[in-house]
Amino acid sequence: MKIDPANPADLSAQIAKAIRDAIISGALPVDERLPSEAELADQFNVSRPTVREALKRLAAQSLIRTQRGATGGAFVNRLRFEDAYGQQITTSTLLLSMNDVSFATACEARYALERACAPLSAQRRTADHLATMRAEAHRQQQPGLTDEAFCASDVAFHRALVDAAGNPVLSYQLAGAVEAMQPLMNMITFSARDRERIITLHTAIADAIEVGDGAKADENLANLATYTQELAQDVIAKRNAARHAK
């Protein structure tokens, strides 16, 4: 973890990579304290600001945490699922918005992945997960709900569905797919009839999960996917019509 080519540019990136590799390889175990900034500066033959830039890069990825004070320093951070969720959601959201990903593509991915969870969720769901799903389905019936609040509740419902699979790795991977869809979903206006249909499907999914019928949950998720695509196509069609009119 010491090599540093004579190339005097991107020093902080090189140092960050060296430390990151050491963490990934396991040479630096969790909670291990890195040398102090001054010591690192010495080891790498650079100045302290350069070392600090490298450490900030690692901190941005939650790979290290820093503590001030006498026994402070930079410590290898145990990457927690909750921390990773946030990064995953940010990255996924930006990927969708910056790459002209169509609603259809994002939606397809989301429901394909969710359907992968359905059998496991039906098998393992706890009373807690089921209660959350029921509560969100109920919340969605409130008449005064804004479209945005409706979407947020939709996300919460699906998050509970995914979490019910009891597999943190799945929950992590799905977080991006589910949450990143929200900005796209927010562009849709849900009529009362639209909502009714969605809630019916949500309820059917919750029913299937409750009785452990994975196939039925999967089937209703597929219906929900199709219906969501139709709603989005309507929005796009209307927008195109409006553009032609003006």
Under the rule (CB under 7 A), what is the footprint of DNA? 8-12, 34, 36-38, 45-50, 52-53, 55, 66-74
Is 34 an interacting residue with respect to a copy of itself (CB under 8 A)? no
192-231: contacts with a copy of itself (CB under 8 A): none
Which of DNA, a copy of itself, none does residue 8 bind (CB under 5 to 8 Å by kind)? Answer: DNA
Distance CA 73, CA 63 (A): 14
148-167: contacts with a copy of itself (CB under 8 A): 165, 167
Return the exposure string of 42-63: e unless at least 16 CB atoms fall within 10 Å of the residue's CB, then b.
eebebeeebbbbbbebbbeeeb
Distance CA 138, CA 154 (A): 11
Closest contact distance (angstroms) between CB of 55 and DNA is 7
Residue closer to DNA by CB (options 68, 246) is 68
φ and ψ at residue 74, rounded to 5 degrees? -100, 130
Is 90 an interacting residue with respect to a copy of itself (CB under 8 A)? yes
Residue closer to DNA by CB (options 74, 198) is 74
Contact 63, 76 (CB under 8 A): yes
User: What's CA 120's distance to the chain center, in Å?
Assistant: 20
Amino acid at 63: L
Which of DNA, a copy of itself, none does residue 243 bind (CB under 5 to 8 Å by kind)? Answer: none
Closest contact distance (angstroms) between CB of 189 and a copy of itself is 20
Closest contact distance (angstroms) between CB of 81 and DNA is 24
Return the exposure string of 208-225: e unless at least 16 CB atoms fall within 10 Å of the residue's CB, then b.
bbeeebbebbbbbbbebb
Closest contact distance (angstroms) between CB of 38 and DNA is 6
Is 131 an interacting residue with respect to a copy of itself (CB under 8 A)? no
For residue 68, give the DSSP letter. Answer: -
Distance CA 29, CA 63 (A): 11
Tokens 């600090």 sit on residue? 52
Closest contact distance (angstroms) between CB of 78 and a copy of itself is 5
Residues at the site binding a copy of itself, with contacts judged by CB under 8 A: 12-13, 16, 20, 23-24, 26, 30, 49, 52-54, 56-61, 63, 78-81, 84, 87-88, 90-99, 101, 105-106, 108-110, 112-113, 115-117, 120, 165, 167-170, 172-173, 176-177
